Amino acid sequence: MELWFSEDFSGGSRFGARVTQVVASHKSEFQQIDILATEVFGKMLVIDGKVQACEMDEFVYHEMLTHPALLSHPNPRKVLVAGGGDGGTVRECLKHSCVQEVTLVEIDRMVIELCQTHMPGLASRLSEDSRVRVAPDDASKIIQQARNMDVILVDSSDPVGPSEALFQPEFFQELHTALSEDGITCLQAGSPFLGPEQVVKMALDLKKFFPVVHLLTIPVPSYPGGTWCLALASKADWNPRGDSGQLIRQRFQDRGLTDQTKYLTKDMLGPCFEVPAFLMSIFRREQQAVAR
């Protein structure tokens, strides 16, 4: 028997992976959670039919959601991770020795438990490191109450179901309030090829609350379109192309990240902020439309 997992996007594009074993399949209070063993992508966490993380390429997404944000902050001590029950983002945060406390807010405890059992490469640090606090709660509710966070990483699923609120301007305002004076947030922002308008809308909505917003473009073979966008928004003023770019690269070394990453290199910390021309022109078009 041949077993294939398949995920459709926008009704016209499809990603498929050959499955060697259905490792776990559960319906939680919130969603359908499956863990599949695949031939090419390793074990794969699938929620409501959409790939969230797979062993073969999760390092790209988790490193890039975490390190550019944490390195852009001079001294991140308190970090909040919203969503991301697979543990990959928390694992990356713990690589910065200056980090004293990582709070993981994941609405669905079953995601955490299944990943701890079946994908320990991602989730084992959730119970092994005393700096980690797990809050099984609604991220948007917790962020409403949080204050003085240095970094908030929004490791959400797509803007449907439990994650929908995490893509609204009201949530971006709450993020701004929950962050310290020089706080920084990084969020998943969608597909630049298959949904560029959504990516641009998110960046422009963030711009209403944060003086500095940058897009990061990263390869993720198991996500629709193969390339994904992250949005980084900061309350303090800095520019990865100038002196602050040099500073970020220096911190990569100072915080001992050399040889600790599988995708990111020091020299990629400037480049990862470069945005393709077609995305920039959608930006300019939308900004002009707003200005009119």
**267 touches its own copies by CB under 8 A:** yes
What values do phi and psi take at 175, rounded to 5?
A: -55, -45
Place of tokens 């910065």: 96
Share in percent of the chain as helix, strand, coil (round to 5)? 35, 30, 35
Q: Which of 89, 185, 188, 261 binds its own copies (CB under 8 A)?
A: 261
Q: Which of 31, 47, 50, 57 binds its own copies (CB under 8 A)?
A: 57
Q: How many CB atoms lie within 10 A of CB 286?
A: 15
Q: Which of 133, 147, 208, 262 binds its own copies (CB under 8 A)?
A: 262
Q: Say how far apart CA 221 and CA 227 lie, in whole Å.
A: 7
**181 touches its own copies by CB under 8 A:** no
To the query of whether residue 155 is one of the catalytic residues in this protein, the response is yes
**49 touches its own copies by CB under 8 A:** no
Q: Which of 120, 168, 276, 287 binds its own copies (CB under 8 A)?
A: 276
The residue (of 34 and 174) whose beta carbon lies closer to its own copies is 34
**191-210 positions binding its own copies, by CB under 8 A:** 192-194
Angle, alpha carbons 202-206-212 (nearest 5°): 125
Which part of the chain contacts its own copies (CB under 8 A), choosing from 24-32, 94-102, 123-131, 264-272? 264-272
Joined together, the tokens standing for residue 121 give 């490469």
Minimum separation from the CB atom of position 58 to its own copies (A): 12
User: Quick check: 177 and 152 in contact, CB under 8 A?
Assistant: no
The residue (of 8 and 128) whose beta carbon lies closer to its own copies is 8
CB environment 257-277: b (16+ within 10 A), e (fewer): beeebebbebebbeebbebee
* Secondary structure class of 292 (helix, strand, coil): coil
Minimum separation from the CB atom of position 51 to its own copies (A): 12
Q: Say how far apart CA 92 and CA 87 lie, in whole Å.
A: 9
Q: What is the Cα gyration radius of the chain?
A: 18
User: Quick check: 201 and 207 in contact, CB under 8 A?
Assistant: no
Q: How many CB atoms lie within 10 A of CB 4?
A: 9
**292 touches its own copies by CB under 8 A:** no
Closest by CA position to 171, among listed 146, 197, 194, 134? 146
* Active-site pick, 150, 155, 158, 205: 155
**16 touches its own copies by CB under 8 A:** yes
Query: CA end-to-end span of the chain, whole Å?
Result: 59
Which part of the chain contacts its own copies (CB under 8 A), choosing from 25-33, 82-90, 149-157, 271-279? 271-279
Per-residue binder mask for its own copies (CB under 8 A), 219-248, x = binder: xxx-x-xxx-------------x-------
Per-residue binder mask for its own copies (CB under 8 A), 29-48, x = binder: ---------xxxx-------
Query: What is the size of the binding site for its own copies (CB under 8 A)?
Result: 49
**79 touches its own copies by CB under 8 A:** no
Catalytic residues: 155
Footprint of its own copies (CB under 8 A): 4, 6, 8-18, 38-41, 56-57, 59-60, 192-194, 217, 219-221, 223, 225-227, 241, 261-265, 267-268, 270-272, 274-278, 280
